[in-house]
Structure 1
Amino acid sequence: MQSQSSPVHQWRVPVILPVAKLIGAVVVVGLGLLLAGDDRVQPVLAGLAAAALAGWGLRDLVAPVRLAADRDGITVAQGFAGHRRLPWREVEAITVDRRTRRGLTAETLEIDAGESLHLFGRYDLNAPPAEVAETLRAAQAAAR
């Protein structure tokens, strides 16, 4: 049986995010019903949008930790609420992609594990991706 190291670092979704998504789902349903009148399509579309928002919020409640690192490697979120363990030897590169559009700069943490690429934004990590990348690179270097 393989022993798992306890996480030295964890990055998770901010608590307010799933709450906002679930409140948004309720608001969408309410507006859909309030503004529907005789239209039967509008409440259905509002229900579908609300279900998507609620599912997205539920995922954040069920699996809030998106990324964790310890001396043996990293654990990344995968799928709806799953996780995947990557030993440090499988991590080929840790980079931050910066893009500016309409005066706003967005950063994305990219973890290249050969056959898979894992992307994390600011709201996945509740921290600036550049800071997380520095921490991960230091942890990887210490593990060697």
Structure 2
Amino acid sequence: MPGALPAAKLLGVVVLVALGLLFTDGDRVRLVLAGLAAAGLAGWALRDLVAPVRLAVDAEGIAVRQGFAGWRRLPWPAVEAVRVERRTRRGLTAETLEIDAGDSLHLFGRYDLDAPLEEVADALHAARSTAG
């Protein structure tokens, strides 16, 4: 299901453009706002298509996506903690994978990694323990 979310975002772009064209009644401000919202959503979908991998792990450490084309390397000694944070607000629970590297904090959601966050955290802990 990795392509489902970008496809939904692109469908949202089409819907926004269609609604903008149908309901603006000649009002340029509404048309511009619908166009800006559609462009933002299209950029978000493009990011999912161009750079689908957000996190990689090997014996030396973790690599996290930085921007569209860049990677930031976090060697294992720099990684202070890897944990899944759960926050409940107004009856909804949100989970976030946090990678604390001292001077930086990297946050990933379920849809960023396309895997259950507990499994990703367990895999990172296992990779770290085998690295030494």
Q: State the TM-score, normalized to the length of structure 2.
A: 0.93
Correspondence for 2:7 among 19, 22, 27: 19
Q: Measure how far apart 1:80 and its partner are.
A: 3.5
Distance 1:72 1:15 in 2: 30
Q: Which residue does 2:106 correspond to in 1?
A: 118
Structure-1 separation of matches of 2:87 and 2:98: 13
Tell me how large the CA RMSD over aligned residues is.
1.4
Residue 47 of structure 2 corresponds to which residue in structure 1? 59
Count, aligned residues? 132
2-structure distance, mates of 1:82, 1:34: 40
Judge conservation of contact 1:68–1:76 (CA < 8 Å) in 2. Answer: yes
Confirm or deny: 8 A CA contact 1:66 1:125 kept in the other structure. yes
The percentage of counterpart residues that share the same residue type is 71
Amino acid across the alignment from 1:98: R
TM-score scaled by length of structure 1: 0.86
Offset at 1:18?
A: 1.3
What's the offset of the Cα at 1:57? 0.6
**Structure 2 gap segments, 5+ residues each:** none
**Larger relative contact order, structure 1 or 2 (CA cutoff 8 Å, min sep 6):** 1
Please tell me the residue identity of whatever aligns with 1:103. G
